[in-house]
Structure 1
């Protein structure tokens, strides 16, 4: 840079250079922040640290120490950072795919409380688990999901050294009964456990989570980590089986996710195991297990004799005994609550007497006539209603209703079936999120009957259900009764496997769920025989069409034969419904429209044109209205007829857009993609 410049040159270039630096800085901020806001100073420092970490500390450690030494602790620059910042830096490196083995070694500091490696499971090895067990014994949260190369023995030895765990995610790993027994023995503070997709884990292996004295041969034989070996963490962990002869206490679990486990296991085992865990884990609020519906029906009708063979084989107490212990525990808790309520009522009476005395004195001096009888009766009625509601809830724990039935704390349930859904409603009245798999059949009457059963079963949570996920291989129209029952309060709706046609009432779905923030429909492609007449579509008026003003995420995926270049364009009325959704959803952040059976490019052009018209009509106003697609950050338009000109217009509209997937869009050419793949620093994918 020259020290001296001509006077005219300096006057013209300095403001331009300053503006260039500001634009560059703002561009980097927009690139790194997901919500589009200006990042904080702390985040900017972490971003700078992440950018320079590879060339400074990681390079030095990898060149001089990584494969030559094994440190119990590393005293370096990251050991001085607070654990929260180290956790944020680790997550940032994972998101940007910059986390390496050397960088992870440097970030394993004793003050770390949360470690999530689910985005880079390839880094999770036996050696790394040794470092975690030695350096991070104060971890509260650990997520190793997807690390399939990690043996169950090493996993058990690692868990032994992490007694402070509150959350543990082992989804998709080689987790077995040995690991579960170790968790039950050593993680006495555990609140959340995720063992979904652990195919070596049987439902019966989950029983130690509920406590008890286990003496079955299957449980003892499954424990395989008693032998010593030259493990990287053998010097840091004790023998996990050293005290397994003692009875186990139930874990304070509030969340248990165990879907898709135990291939080939008997259905009765799933139901019995689910019933035992529901009775022995009173703090559960979130559960994902197969057999939950049948387990609730079994508990409600007290058909515990059906599980005697299972309990004898597994060496656990019979369910009728567990149920009696629950009754005894609840009676003790109820007495404690009544005693506490009596003490509180006595204090309230004393306070009321004092307040009445003060009120009488004030009346004498001020001539106040006191409150009316109407106000007094209203306050008394409100107090009675609150007391009744508190007694019904049972103080937020397992309680007994007036008819003697069990009331569970479950609020988020995944793995239910359509049958016996009424039993789940009576046992779990506080559910706000539910996932149901509806049995399907080729006969239309069967599908309609299942839809009616679903609507009747969901009636219990009408007005309170916020999230609904349904897997149904029948026509979408058969689910309308269920959506009309629960749709008024729904915030999230997921419909998977449904069948569609050009006459599918998608607008009725939108009308039934006006508060949706997330809408996902994964549907079958309409058949060729049901092609729709295009002339009937344009004759409709779209002024009174329903809209979803709170929608943040919209996903419409249609299955199709990928051997064909383009899907069949059959559902022409879908254009008007899409235009209605995109125009009325001004807060939309994620848009995914894959293999649509209708033209999409014209829909997007109409939506952009409507936004320009609204902005033009408000040109004289100081407060300009928001425009459609202005807040979108992620767009997926695979196998559609969208054109590159339309995509560029969307990029110009949205300042927060970061990713666009245009794979297999036949209207886009290779040269257009080359010119646009780095347009406004938006990543564009096209194949």
Structure 2
């Protein structure tokens, strides 16, 4: 729920009132600690989605307390996120979650530092309907023993066993209904102490969770290579140490389950009312159907439904003779580019991926980018979201982006190094369907002796590139703490930005931070419509001007550490009629007096920190 909405609904206003009075009215007789397993409180009769909205609202405002949680943990809750208040996640709270919220579909405990691994494991045992689990940044697996992922208990129910690769007992694999988890986010939780343990643990999870579609976890790509080449003997020591079945047994059962479902689906031999068939259908229908929908949706410019089906059948038929397993992963984070081939062979339906590209020397970096381009060939016309962590030159990336850029709707480039001559416009032209573009970059170290703007000028004169679907743009440069202002080392960036902003009429969120070029004059040029005001007697020509005015849809603007002036902020507030927030923190041309004047002009929130 967005508190910034111009006209909140009556339901939202009621929730705002509840949140405002939570402590004084609803929680005034409550304590942080309870021993009651079940509590009949004022929120037990509220629909679950409203309880979720209220919990989210309190969490975003940093007003969520343990006492409030005791009343908000109700049986009708389906989604619970404590990511913004990880300090509240304790053994006691998890006991209440396990007892009261057994219908949870989604649980986010990211960042929790006070939760013992055994408590986490016990909690997961009580959540059989869980579809999404996030544990990112929590110390849930500090060693290979005594953690929720590496418990040696052999008496856990199948639900917990399916979450914990090191506690996957034989009975869990014999179960006809594996846990229906579809999303697992577990980066930075420490999969064991041994070097091979992340890949082994990831392999166990990938094979024991057939419905998994979204995963962020250490060792995923390595696990795919291990599974692809069936190098299961490498994990035997891990299996013995943790007391779990050998990985080859897990693979065999997964393969058998997949083949059985495919035979039933293609032959139509299963009765519609058969309970086992229906359970397997829930887990496996995405393998053949959901992937096709994701790939052939309106975002994909080149792959029709028939083409996707032919591609899938070709992939399966080419691999079935080799007893290859197909995973239905669609969203993968934290892989390295040198293992994309194995990932692609096992996961042909990926539509979103986050890749780390190693960079030690320029030569190694360019070789890695070549490997990246080859790896991305696995999903042509299919990939919709791409995130690259690449601390190398930006000019190395256009060839790789051209491979898959035609279908991308979201692109993130993190850590790239820029120069006054880097082809930023080429990057944008390679991805014409983008809705979201985020670039976190290192600025040029120093300006060249002569600024070369002729190439940029040619692009601008041709009106290229245009990103007509772009809704969110962030171009943020790093800045040393000792710097008062960024060095103006990339003056030609002004023309690049102008071209981009003019060609992005649907832009709603704009972030331009620590730019190595003047910004105030650029905005003056963009918004140069003198004395323009919309009124009842406005001329048709003026309406046409407004219809083509850049930034006319923008709602949130971040101009931190730039040279914008107070007059320009006033112009933004007047011209951009949907604007709700402007952040001009650390803008050295703006003073406190200017801020007071800007705030008096409208209800637009103006943020400024000296």
| TM-score, normalised via structure 1 length | 0.73
Matched, 1:295 2:223: yes
Q: Secondary structure at the match of 1:686?
A: coil
Native 8 Å contact 2:183 2:214 kept in 1: yes
Mapped contact 1:677–1:684 kept (Cα < 8 A): no
Distance 1:415 1:92 in 2: 30
C-alpha deviation, 1:647, in angstroms: 1.5
In structure 2, what is the Cα distance between the partners aligned to 1:421 and 1:493? Answer: 18
Equivalents in 1 of 2:13, 2:383: separation in Å?
40
* Residue aligning to 2:335: 416
- Aligned mates of 1:579, 1:591 — CA distance in 2: 13
Taking structure 1 as reference, are residues 509 and 388 closer, same or farther at Cα in structure 2, changes over 3 Å only? Answer: closer
Within a 5 Å distance, the mapping from 1:121-520 to structure 2 comes to: 121-176=86-141, 177-180=146-149, 181=151, 185=156, 188=159, 206-208=165-167, 211-213=168-170, 250-262=178-190, 265-340=193-268, 391-392=313-314, 400-401=319-320, 404-442=323-361, 444-520=362-438
* Shift, 1:290, TM fit: 2.7
Deviations 1:274-294 (A, max 9, x none): 333333332222222233333
Paired with 1:303 and 1:67, the residues of 2 have a C-alpha distance of 51
**2:576 matches 1:654:** yes
Query: Residue 93 of structure 1 contacts residue 99 of structure 1 at CA under 8 Å; is this kept in 2?
Result: yes
Indicate conservation of the 8 Å contact 1:642/1:667, yes or no.
yes
| Inter-CA distance 137–270: structure 2 relative to 1 (3 Å threshold) | closer
Q: Could you say what secondary structure the match of 2:27 adopts?
A: helix
What is aligned with 1:579? 498
Alignment RMSD (CA, Å): 3.9
CA contact (8 A) 1:612 1:627 kept: no
* Contact 1:676–1:684 (CA under 8 A) maintained in structure 2: no
Between the aligned partners of 2:155 and 2:497, the Cα distance in structure 1 is: 50
Alignment partner of 1:548 is 2:467: yes
1:44 partnered with 2:1: no
- Whole-angstrom distance in 2 between the partners of 1:517 and 1:53: 38
Q: What does 1:633-672 align with in structure 2 at a 5 Å threshold?
A: 633-672=555-594
**Whole-Å Cα distance in 2 between the matches of residues 330 and 399 of structure 1?**
16
C-alpha separation between the residues in 2 aligned to 1:319 and 1:610?
68
Shift of 1:673: 2.3
CA distance in 1, matches of 2:408, 2:326: 23
Could you say what secondary structure the match of 1:680 adopts?
A: coil
Instruction: Give the Å deviation of 1:387.
Output: 8.2
**CA distance in 2 between partners of 1:160 and 1:321 (Å):** 23
SS across alignment from 2:461 = coil
| Change in CA separation of 1:519 and 1:618 when aligned onto 2, cut-off 3 Å | farther
Q: Is 1:113 aligned to 2:84, yes or no?
A: no
Secondary structure, aligned partner of 1:270: helix
Pick closer, same or farther for the CA change 1:76–1:597 going to 2, 3 Å. same
Aligned twin of 1:533: 451
Tell me if structure 2 keeps the 8 A contact 1:611–1:627: no
Checking the alignment, whether the CA contact within 8 Å between 1:677 and 1:685 is kept in structure 2 is no
Instruction: Determine helix, strand or coil for the equivalent of 1:406.
Output: coil
Quote the Cα distance in structure 2 between the aligned partners of 1:593 and 1:455: 29
Q: How far apart are the structure 1 equivalents of 2:50 and 2:429?
A: 45
For residues 625 and 151 of structure 1, the distance between their equivalents in structure 2, rounded to whole angstroms, comes to 57
- 2:177 and 2:155 mapped to 1: Cα distance? 8
Q: CA deviation at 1:388?
A: 5.8
C-alpha separation between the residues in 2 aligned to 1:271 and 1:54?
A: 47
TM-score, length basis structure 2:
0.81
Q: 1: CA distance between counterparts of 2:85 and 2:553? A: 29
Pair 1:72–1:260, CA change in 2 (3 A): closer
Contact 2:365–2:392 (CA under 8 A) maintained in structure 1: yes
Q: How many Å separate the matches in 1 of 2:505 and 2:155?
A: 48
CA distance in 1, matches of 2:305, 2:467: 38
User: In the aligned structure 1, how far is the partner of 2:581 from the partner of 2:328?
Assistant: 40
The CA distance in 2 between the partners of 1:155 and 1:273, in whole Å, is 17
Q: Which moved more, 1:566-575 or 1:318-327?
A: 318-327
Alpha-carbon distance between aligned partners in 2 of 1:625 and 1:559, rounded to the nearest angstrom = 35
The answer on whether the counterparts of 1:490 and 1:516 sit within 8 Å (CA) in structure 2 is yes
Q: Is the 8 A contact 1:399 1:407 kept in 2?
A: no
| Alpha-carbon separation, structure 2, partners of 1:280 and 1:470 | 29
Superposition pairs for residues 26-65 of structure 1, below 5 Å? 33-36=3-6, 38-59=7-28, 61=29, 65=30
Cα deviation code 1:587-614 (max 9, x no counterpart): 2222111111111111122222269889
Distance 1:87 1:189, change over 3 A: farther
- Of residues 581-590 and 604-613 in structure 1, the stretch that sits farther from structure 2 once superposed is 604-613
| Deviations 1:394-452 (CA, angstroms, capped at 9, x unpaired) | 7xxx995355433221111112212132222222211111111112122x333222211
CA distance 1:507–1:625, change in 2 (3 Å)? same
Deviates more, 1:278-287 or 1:531-540: 531-540
| Corresponding residue of 1:356 | none
Paired position in structure 2 for 1:592: 511
Counterpart secondary structure, 1:168 = strand
1: CA distance, partners of 2:161 / 2:532: 56
Cα distance, 1:113 vs structure 2? 2.9
Shift of 1:114: 2.7
User: Which moved further from structure 2: 505-514 or 444-453?
Assistant: 444-453
User: 1:598-613 residue pairs with structure 2 within 5 A?
Assistant: 598-609=517-528
Per the alignment, do residues 274 and 536 of structure 1 end up closer, same or farther by CA in structure 2, a change over 3 Å counting?
Answer: same
Distance 1:411 1:32, change over 3 A: closer
Note the residue ranges of structure 2 that are not aligned, 5 or more in a row: 273-303
Offset from partner CA, 1:117-151 (integer Å, 9 cap, x none): 22223334444445444544443333232232344
1:467 deviation in Å? 0.6
Larger radius of gyration: 1
Q: Between Structure 1 and Structure 2, how many residues are aligned?
A: 568
